[in-house]
Amino acid sequence: MEKRSLYNNKLLPYLLLAPQLVITLVFFYWPASQAVWMSFRMEDAFGTTTEFVGLENYVSLFQQRAYYESMATTVIFSIAVTFLAMSFSLLLAVMADKQIRGGSVYRTLLIWPYAVAPAIAGVLWLFMFQPSLGMIGRGLISIGVPWNPMLNGDHALLLVILAAAWKQISYNFLFFLAGLQSIPKSLIEAAAIDGARPTRRFWTIVFPMLSPTTFFLLVVNIVYVFFDTFGIIDAITHGGPAKATETLVFKVYQDGRLGGDLGGSAAQSVVLMVIVIALTAIQFRYVERKVTY
Amino acid sequence: MAEVTLNDVRKVYAGGVEAVKGVSLDIPDGGFCVLVGPSGCGKSTLLRMVAGLETISSGQVAIGGRVVNEIEPAERDIAMVFQNYALYPHMSVYDNIAYGLRNRGTPKDEIDRRVQEAARILAIEPFLQRKPRALSGGQRQRVAMGRAIVRKPQVFLFDEPLSNLDAKLRVQMRVEIKKLQRALGVTSIYVTHDQVEAMTLSDKLVVMSGGQVEQVGTPTEVYRRPETRFVATFIGSPPMNILPGLVDGDGRVSVGGLTLAADDLPAGLEPGRHVDVGVRPEEVEVAPAGAPGAPFAIDFVEELGATELLHGTLGGSPFVLQVNTGAVSPGTKAVTLAIPSRCVHVFDAETGKRLGRAESATARAA
Amino acid sequence: MVERKHWFSTLLPHAILILGVLIVAFPVYVAFVGSSWDAGTIANGTMPMTPGPYLVENYSRVILSGNATAREPVGPMLFNSFVMAMIIALGKIAISIISAYAVVYFRFPLRKTAFWLIFITLMLPVEVRIYPTYKIVADLGLLDTYGGLAIPLIASATATLLFRQFFMTIPDELVEASKIDGAGPWKFFKDTVLPLSITTVAALFVIQFIYGWNQYLWPLLITTREDMQTIVIGIKKMLVTQDALTEWQLAMATAVLAMLPPVVVVLVMQKLFVRGLVETEK
């Protein structure tokens, strides 16, 4: 869609765009292209010059066992968080969508965790599940669970998953609720007249009608787990124990911080870029479908 | 105040679509010109070119003798009333009306005087401090009018200003617009797709179709003597009946075996030529029993209150007849019609152009 | 709708929602309780479920003097977070609204290119270009400055798209009426577009303020001086690997303080928040 009536100044539009474009070019495109360029180069032994090495950085990246482990961690993490946060939020949204007393109060009480920083969410959950002093951590040990996220990688990953899912409940809840409220009441009424009981109505009418929202949230949650959980991981486990909670983004950060292999770190960044592009592309296909729906 | 002249004005869009195909028009100072036609006929585009909202592909638009092709809307000294009113939603009624004057640096007290005057004329004084959303459709329409008249422009442009109102209000505002225009004497161009609005408002009626002018004239001229089949069916309600026929000799046509006399049909047309014969539903009368005429078989009746529409067949073609209620007793299946020869319009079957005598309609009327 | 209701089916939604609210609130409640006890009680693992007597002491300590591990008191960290969040939120809104205005209301060479350049930044989150961006900020001498904290984050494809989408809903007739009323592009922006955009701007502000306040990775990288630290980073630094040394009561007090501003913003401006969230993602 385009506007019918326009202004035809020559210089003004460029001036209006300049601040955004300058920042974009300096802080987005230049660094991104640097990452791509660096990923094809390698430093010499003294770290003074670099030379072109083709795909060598990528080859050695994909030969690292650690990289595959990190990828597996990220995938498990994504699936668990997405499933937990989405199913629980959908349940809450369906309940809040019923015309019950105090519906808006529940909504208010459910949405505020959106405002909690991921890193702080991590700190809160660590405080509860810390094995020696955390309220729940001690509780688990007292009933005989050998709970120790500081040493046990599975426990650490579980804790990170819980914190990340907790933080995402509000977001999913809001979108599911908005999705539910946009389903025309007349459809539900027609189904009721057609003899469908509430549970059947949910699965045959409501849930299919929600599918655009569900799909959208699926992508958003995956992107969230990939990129926005850095703070949670850094606060709770620092990627440990023994790299059990090291996601791809955390690995880029960690490897880069230790310094040295600039090319390898750049190659990791490029792989991440490809993943974001793929996820965004999927999201656009969805947006497009929604537009032409 | 000024006359508006359009000289072979064309609009070709970037994609090559020709929305307006060469329109020439003279609107005298103080005249009320209505552009009417179905949607997509180019009437709005033409108006927007006069406003300066669309560029002119070729030809010239002049306001008060000044060619305005390259002049910006603000400098054309025009005011426009939009279909959706285009009121600034965040400004009060007062500010909406005053905005154009403020942008032109009119002194404050002068602005206030003019806004108050416009508000008084339009009876919107009680609402001046309200926001547009707190007004009814009719009131918004008045504010849009106020915004136009406060500027005392040379030309008013109206783009379907009444089509968002309900039927009753539309009739009322129609009358008010006409009165206001008379009182102010400002040259006006008015676009509408509603032929009743077009007939009642205009002193110069322009019927458009497919980017071209079909006919220009007073409402009566256009109604009495439509120049094309398109105009004949577009102006008038219910629309003119069109029946396929043949030329049957000087001043006569035949329609499905019936022979009709047509006053306006020129002499010397070859017999057997295909024509379209037009007859207005309201100009035909039911002949007394036994009198000669055209047999009309009635299928069903639509009652409109004072009048009735009789749907049926005449000479093998569908035909509609409008009569006063009660003129035909209920249940009647067939009547004979008297079709006056001055009411028979004949159009070329291919071009749709009127086959008429050379003398002008005005001479005929006199 | 007429529907037979079992007492169970009217109670069930409330039960589930209350459970949801408890799950959502519990971690924060525990943090609050933690911030009201002394180090000893917490370290023993004997902290009860109810607030203790050390509330005032703990909060005055973190606000005024900081603790042993992060020597910066929380006051300046809150200030840093506030400044960063404000620059990010206002900066994003300002540069996005004018670029969307340019893209929607003007036709000029390279318009599409400019639009796509902005659009594609959606695919380049800071996480995928951490170190090269760090290097540029360092080269520009922006490490440990508010500019360095905020400016790289204020380019915004989502805000630009949102404003573009909103501008598309402004009827064409308003521009046309403005032109006839003698308003040029700047006057139209100031007198009509901006006032009409107020709710969009406010909704966006709520979302972007929270976004800015909660930044973690970026400030972690580019702040080295302690007086430039934001509060979210500050808390992390209070956690010591050897748990015995962590002053949990102070860390929790700081966490509560760090959560307070964005949570208050969400609760007070709930309508705008919901609108902003739902619309930026559309």
Maximum Cα–Cα distance for chain B, whole Å? Answer: 78
> How far apart (Å, rounded) are the C-alpha atoms in residues B154 and B29?
9
Q: Are C255 and C67 in contact (CB under 8 A)?
A: no
How far CA A247 is from CA of A167, A238, A250, in Å, comes to 18, 11, 5
Q: What angle do CA B59, B65, B70 make, to 5 degrees?
A: 50
CB of C191 within 8 Å of any CB in chain B? yes
Are B51 and C180 in contact (CB < 8 Å)? yes
Residue B120 has what pLDDT?
92
pLDDT above 50 for A230 = yes
Residue C54 has what pLDDT?
82
Closest Cβ–Cβ partner in C27, C98, C274 for A124: C27
CB of C24 within 8 Å of any CB in chain A? yes
> How far apart (Å, rounded) are the C-alpha atoms in residues B118 and B141?
13
pLDDT above 60 for B363 = no
Residue B72, classed as helix, strand or coil, is coil
Q: What angle do CA B355, B357, B360 make, to 5 degrees?
A: 115
Question: Residues A6-24: pLDDT tens digits?
Answer: 888 889 999 999 999 999 9
Among C2, C105, C131, which would you mutate to test the A interface (most chain A Cβ atoms within 10 Å of its Cβ)? Answer: C131
Residue of B nearest to C173 (CA): B86
Residue of C nearest to B83 (CA): C173
pLDDT above 90 for C129 = no
B positions 61-90 inside 8 Å of C (CB)? 72-74, 78-80, 82-86, 88-90
Average pLDDT across chain B, whole number: 90
Closest CA to B36 of B145, B226, B189: B189
Helix or strand (DSSP H, E) at C128: none
CB of B258 within 8 Å of any CB in chain C? no
Q: b vs e for B78-99, b when ≥16 Cβ sit within 10 Å of the residue's Cβ?
A: bbbbbbbbbbbebbbbbbbbbb
Cα radius of gyration rounded to whole Å, chain B: 24
Cα radius of gyration rounded to whole Å, chain A: 24
pLDDT above 60 for C5 = yes
Q: Are A248 and A71 in contact (CB under 8 A)?
A: yes
pLDDT above 80 for B218 = yes
> How far apart (Å, rounded) are the C-alpha atoms in residues B218 and B224?
10
Q: Are A255 and A267 in contact (CB under 8 A)?
A: no
Q: B46 or C51, which is more confident?
A: B46
CB of C102 within 8 Å of any CB in chain A? yes
Nearest 5°: phi and psi at C260?
Answer: -55, -55
Q: Which residues of B touch C180 (CB under 8 A)?
A: 51, 73-74, 78-80, 100
Interacting residues of B114 by C-beta distance below 8 A, sequence separation 6+: B101, B106, B150, B152
Are C182 and B74 in contact (CB < 8 Å)? yes
Helix or strand (DSSP H, E) at C272: helix C270-280
Residue of A nearest to C31 (CA): A124
Superfamily of domain B4-229: P-loop containing nucleotide triphosphate hydrolases (3.40.50.300)
Are C132 and A34 in contact (CB < 8 Å)? yes
Question: Residues C56-89: pLDDT tens digits?
Answer: 888 888 877 755 554 557 888 889 999 999 999 9
The pairing of beta strand B32-36 with beta strand B187-192:
parallel
Cα radius of gyration rounded to whole Å, chain C: 24
> Does residue A31 come out as left (phi exceeding 0), alpha (psi in the -120 to 50 range) or beta?
alpha
Q: Count of CB atoms within 10 A of residue B330's CB?
A: 7
Structural domains of chain A, with CATH: 66-292 (1.10.3720.10)
> Does residue C240 come out as left (phi exceeding 0), alpha (psi in the -120 to 50 range) or beta?
beta
Closest Cβ–Cβ partner in C173, C182, C191 for B86: C173
Residue that the structure tokens 């787990």 belong to: A225
The amino acid occupying position A29 is: Y
Tokens of B246: 């043949």
CB of B105 within 8 Å of any CB in chain C? no
Are C181 and B74 in contact (CB < 8 Å)? yes
How far CA B69 is from CA of A232, B55, C78, C177, in Å, comes to 64, 7, 60, 19
Q: Which residues of C touch B85 (CB under 8 A)?
A: 173
Interacting residues of C205 by C-beta distance below 8 A, sequence separation 6+: C89, C90, C93, C272, C276
Are C173 and B83 in contact (CB < 8 Å)? yes
> How far apart (Å, rounded) are the C-alpha atoms in residues B352 and B274?
11
- Section C176-199 average pLDDT: 91
The amino acid occupying position B186 is: V
* CA distance to partner chain C, nearest, from residue B99 (Å): 7
Tokens of A69: 């482990």
Tokens of C53: 């007597």
Q: Are C228 and C80 in contact (CB under 8 A)?
A: yes
According to DSSP, the residues that pair with B338 across neighbouring strands are B285
Question: Residues A113-143: pLDDT tens digits?
Answer: 899 999 999 999 998 888 888 888 888 888 8
Q: Count of CB atoms within 10 A of residue B288's CB?
A: 9
Instruction: Return the minimum-mean-pLDDT range out of A33-47, B248-262, C10-24, C191-205.
Output: A33-47
* Pairs of CB atoms within 8 A across A/C: 288
Domain boundaries, chain B: 4-229, 230-365
CB of B178 within 8 Å of any CB in chain C? no
Residue B330, classed as helix, strand or coil, is coil
Instruction: Return the minimum-mean-pLDDT range out of A97-101, A269-273, A284-288, B39-43.
Output: A284-288
Q: Are C103 and A14 in contact (CB under 8 A)?
A: no
Are B86 and C171 in contact (CB < 8 Å)? yes
pLDDT classification of C3: cutoffs 50, 70, 90: low
> How far apart (Å, rounded) are the C-alpha atoms in residues A72 and B71?
67
Report ipTM for this prediction: 0.87
Question: Residues A145-200: pLDDT tens digits?
Answer: 888 888 888 889 999 999 999 999 999 999 999 889 888 887 877 777 777 777 88
Structural domains of chain C, with CATH: 7-280 (1.10.3720.10)
CATH classification of B230-365, choosing from 3.30.590.20, 2.40.50.140, 3.40.605.10, 1.20.1050.10? Answer: 2.40.50.140
pLDDT above 80 for C235 = yes
Q: A205 or C15, which is more confident?
A: C15
- Section A244-255 average pLDDT: 85
Residue A191 has what pLDDT?
76
pLDDT classification of B359: cutoffs 50, 70, 90: low
Residue A293 has what pLDDT?
30
Residue B366 has what pLDDT?
34
Question: Residues C14-60: pLDDT tens digits?
Answer: 888 999 999 999 999 988 988 888 877 887 777 888 888 888 888 88
Question: Residues B272-328: pLDDT tens digits?
Answer: 899 999 999 999 988 887 788 889 999 999 999 999 999 999 988 999 999 998 888
Are C176 and B86 in contact (CB < 8 Å)? yes
Burial (0-12, 13-18, 19+ Cβ within 10 Å), A153: middle
Residue B362 has what pLDDT?
44
Q: Are C193 and C166 in contact (CB under 8 A)?
A: no
Residue that the structure tokens 């209070």 belong to: C238
Tokens of A10: 């020559």
How far CA C9 is from CA of A168, A177, C14, C203, in Å, comes to 28, 19, 9, 36
